[in-house]
Amino acid sequence: MSDDHEVRGLNLVRPGAESNPRVARIREQLRANDAWNKNEPDAAEPPTVSAVRRRAEQLLAQRLYEDAEDTFLEAIEVGLRENHFCWQAALNIVNCRLFLRRLDEADRGAAGLLQMFETRPDHPVHYLAATQRGAIAAERWGMDHDPENAQAALGWAQRAYDWQRTYRAYADGLRAYNVIVALLRLDRRAEALETYRRHDGDDDFQTWCRQGEHAADIAQLTAE
């Protein structure tokens, strides 16, 4: 059983279970990799592209980011020859760069994707790339503690959250968790608590709160 299998199945996470460090690590990988969690399948993807994209995803799952990036680029090239833009591969190129802490290139790539899809506001690229830009801003904040980066992280987290509420009727656990973490970064605890209460009954959200990397901060928030 591989990490990849577990990520897709997510059957190791149960509400009420104790935190499992290995599962927590897998879920952290998933945080930045939700593009390849089959949540947003691309029905129009030609089989020739799928084969290359899957190969690249396997490299990504093995944390061979440099090789994965090259293979995702290849998937996009193959797709363009058939008039198809493999946006899942594009999102994962951003992920590869994020994981290698090549933050400027990652951010430019995500910004380019948002620009490319601006005439299709209902496309899932909008919330997936916004989630990535939020993670990039948070990473920058982690390096310099510049409040502007904390503010940017909140802006992107909120944008992903709002997109899901607009187009999917509700925001999923990860988007809500990201908003709360971004609010806590800015010490806006009352708003964080309000958002927490809004999602309190969502098992997926609770799992993130208990097993995400900011679990201790959120536990403290809810105990106040």
Partner 1 sequence: MNGHDWLAAQKETRDLWPRRFLGALRAGLADGEAEVWLPEFTRRFRNRVPDFAGAGLFATLARVEGMETRELADYIIGHVYLALRRNQPREEAAFVDYVRRCVRSVAVTMRRQSLDSVHRAAARDGELQILSLDEHPALLEALAGHDPDAAAQLSGQRVVVYLLAQAERDGQRENVEIVLRTTLDDMALADIARERGVSRQAIAKRYQRGMAYLQAHREAAFGGSTQ
Q: Which stretch binds partner 1 (CB under 8 A): 38-46, 92-100, 180-188, 209-217?
A: 92-100
CB nearer partner 1, residue 49 or residue 182: 49
Judge whether 46 and 81 are in contact, CB under 8 Å.
Answer: no
**Position 135: which residue type?**
A
**Position 1: which residue type?**
M
**Closest distance to partner 1 from the beta carbon of 30 (Å):** 14
Q: Which stretch binds partner 1 (CB under 8 A): 20-28, 39-47, 145-153, 177-185?
A: 20-28
Angle at 122 between CA 196 and CA 182, to 5 degrees: 30
What is the rounded distance in angstroms from the CA atom of residue 185 to the CA atom of residue 190?
12
**Closest distance to partner 1 from the beta carbon of 188 (Å):** 30
Tell me which residue of 86, 1, 99 sits closest to 43, measured CA to CA: 86
What is the rounded distance in angstroms from the CA atom of residue 86 to the CA atom of residue 77?
9
**Does the protein bind partner 1 through residue 65 (CB under 8 A)?**
yes
CB nearer partner 1, residue 15 or residue 112: 112
Contacts of 201 (CB under 8 A, 6+ apart): none
**Which residues sit at the interface with partner 1, rule CB under 8 A?**
1-3, 11-12, 17-18, 20, 22-23, 25, 62-67, 69-70, 73, 76-77, 79-80, 85, 90, 93, 97, 100-102, 105, 108-109, 112-113, 115-116
